[in-house]
C-alpha cells in the first residue's frame, strides 16, 4: 500500500518542491495551504496527479485540522510557516501565530488522530550569533537574535515534548537559506527585483561582508527523504542541513550582476548585519547528516545560478 503523507505549506517554495518529489516516489499526498505566501501555480502539475489531494485551509483553525488529519496518515511534513525573517521585529505576532500556534495545532491534531511521525523545518537562525562555526547541532545558543529564530526554537521545544509524551517520532531540520526553482523570498530575488527597477544602483543592506551558506532546494528535499528512510531508534532526531561552503554578500552580488551583465554602483547601508536578526556569519556543521551518506550536489554558485535561471524564465 502507498504511504499516505500530509504536507502543510504545500504551495510554498520548499513545500511544493517536496510534493513533486513525494509524488514521484509514489506516496499519496494530502496538501494543506491557505496561499498566505504560497502560489497555486506551484501545484499545477500536482493537481493533475491522482495521488494528490489539496485542501485549502488555515492551520490556525484547529478544529478543522483535527478532522482533516483523521485519514490514517503516516507522516506529517510540517512546512507551513511565516518564513520571513527580516520583518519579524515589525510584525512579531506573525511568528507567534503562524509558527508557534500553528505548530501547536498541528501537534494537537496529530495527538488526537494518533499520527506518529513529524518532519519539521527549523532554521540555522536558532543558533543566533554563535561563536562556534561551523555550528554543530549540539552547539550552545543562549541568545536569540530574531523573532523568527525564537519562534522556531519554541516549535522545536513543543515537538520534542509531544514526541516524548505521545511517542511521536520527530525529525527536526535546521536549514541554511534555501535556493532554486520557485524561490520567492531572500537576498537573490531582492537584488534581482531592485536591479530590474534600477540597473545603475544597488542598495545593499549591511556592509556586504556578511558570510552565508546556501543549499539548493533539490538537495534539501533529498536530505530529508534520506534521513526519514534511515532506521533510527531515537524519538527526536535533529539535523543541520547546509553545504560546507560559504559566500559573502559581495561575492553573491558579483555572480548576480555578471549573470545579468550589469555593473551597478553599490550603496551600502552599513553595519555588520543588514537588519535586526541578520546573522553576520552562518555556516552549519553537516557532519551528522553526511554520516548517513548524504552530501549536497550543488555548489553555492550553481544554486545561485539555478535561482537566477528560474527568476528570469518565470
Ligand X SMILES: NC(=O)c1ccc[n+]([C@@H]2O[C@H](COP(=O)([O-])OP(=O)(O)OC[C@H]3O[C@@H](n4cnc5c(N)ncnc54)[C@H](O)[C@@H]3O)[C@@H](O)[C@H]2O)c1
- Using the minimum distance from each CB to ligand X, give the nearer residue, 28 or 148: 148
Residues in the chain: 314
For binding to ligand X (CB under 6 A), which residues are involved? 9, 11-15, 32-38, 58-60, 79-81, 83, 98, 102, 121, 123, 175, 177-178, 184
- Using the minimum distance from each CB to ligand X, give the nearer residue, 242 or 264: 242
Minimal distance, residue 253 CB to ligand X, in Å: 18
**Choice among 98, 148, 171, 214 that is catalytic:** 148
Minimal distance, residue 102 CB to ligand X, in Å: 5
Minimal distance, residue 88 CB to ligand X, in Å: 11
The x, y and z cell numbers of residue 102, run together, are 500553528
The β-bridge partners of 135 are 284
**Residue 88 · residue 65 · CB < 8 Å:** no
CA distances (Å), origin 99, targets 106, 120, 121, 149, 155: 10, 11, 11, 10, 7
The β-bridge partners of 311 are none
Minimal distance, residue 265 CB to ligand X, in Å: 28
Between CA 297 and CA 304, with CA 301 as vertex, the angle to 5 degrees is 100
Catalytic site residue 148? Answer: yes
> How many whole angstroms separate alpha carbon 235 and alpha carbon 161?
10
The 10 Å Cβ neighbour count of residue 28 is 20
- Using the minimum distance from each CB to ligand X, give the nearer residue, 175 or 294: 175
Q: Is the peptide bond before 134 cis (omega within 30 degrees of 0)?
A: yes
> How many whole angstroms separate alpha carbon 9 and alpha carbon 34?
8
Look at strands 75-78 and 52-56 and give their pairing. unpaired
Q: Which residue has the cell 534581482?
A: 192
Minimal distance, residue 77 CB to ligand X, in Å: 10
**Residue 85 · residue 125 · CB < 8 Å:** yes
- Using the minimum distance from each CB to ligand X, give the nearer residue, 34 or 248: 34
- Using the minimum distance from each CB to ligand X, give the nearer residue, 162 or 214: 214
For the annotated catalytic residues, the residue numbers are 148
Amino acid at each position: 500500500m502507498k504511504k499516505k503523507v500530509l504536507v502543510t505549506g504545500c504551495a510554498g517554495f520548499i513545500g511544493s518542491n517536496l510534493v513533486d518529489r513525494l509524488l514521484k516516489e509514489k506516496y499519496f499526498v494530502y496538501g494543506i495551504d491557505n496561499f498566505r505566501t504560497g502560489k497555486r501555480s506551484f501545484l499545477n502539475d500536482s493537481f493533475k496527479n491522482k495521488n494528490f489531494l489539496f485542501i485549502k485551509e488555515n492551520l490556525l483553525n484547529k478544529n478543522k485540522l483535527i478532522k482533516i488529519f483523521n485519514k490514517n496518515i503516516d507522516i506529517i511534513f510540517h512546512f507551513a510557516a511565516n518564513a520571513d525573517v527580516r520583518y519579524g521585529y515589525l510584525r512579531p505576532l506573525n511568528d507567534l501565530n503562524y509558527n508557534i500556534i500553528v505548530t501547536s495545532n498541528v501537534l494537537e491534531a496529530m495527538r488526537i488522530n494518533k499520527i506518529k511521525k513529524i518532519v519539521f523545518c527549523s532554521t540555522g537562525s536558532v543558533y543566533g550569533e554563535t561563536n562556534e562555526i561551523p555550528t554543530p547541532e549540539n552547539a550552545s545558543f543562549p541568545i536569540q537574535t530574531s523573532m523568527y529564530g525564537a519562534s522556531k526554537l519554541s516549535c522545536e521545544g513543543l515537538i520534542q515534548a509531544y514526541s516524548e509524551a505521545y511517542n511521536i517520532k520527530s525529525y527536526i531540520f535546521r536549514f541554511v537559506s534555501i535556493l532554486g526553482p520557485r524561490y520567492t523570498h531572500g537576498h537573490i530575488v531582492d537584488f534581482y527585483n531592485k536591479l530590474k527597477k534600477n540597473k545603475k544602483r544597488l542598495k545593499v543592506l549591511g556592509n556586504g561582508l556578511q558570510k552565508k551558506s546556501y543549499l539548493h532546494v533539490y538537495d534539501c528535499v533529498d536530505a530529508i527523504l534520506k534521513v526519514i528512510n534511515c532506521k533510527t531508534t531515537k524519538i527526536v532526531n535533529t539535523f543541520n542541513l547546509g553545504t560546507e561552503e560559504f559566500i559573502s554578500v559581495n561575492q553573491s552580488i558579483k555572480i548576480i550582476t555578471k549573470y545579468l551583465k550589469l555593473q551597478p554602483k553599490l550603496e551600502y547601508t552599513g553595519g555588520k548585519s543588514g537588519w535586526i536578526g541578520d546573522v553576520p556569519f552562518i555556516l552549519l556543521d553537516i557532519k551528522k547528516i553526511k554520516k548517513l551518506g548524504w552530501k549536497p550536489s550543488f555548489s553555492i554558485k550553481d544554486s545561485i545560478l539555478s535561482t537566477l535561471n528560474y527568476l528570469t524564465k518565470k
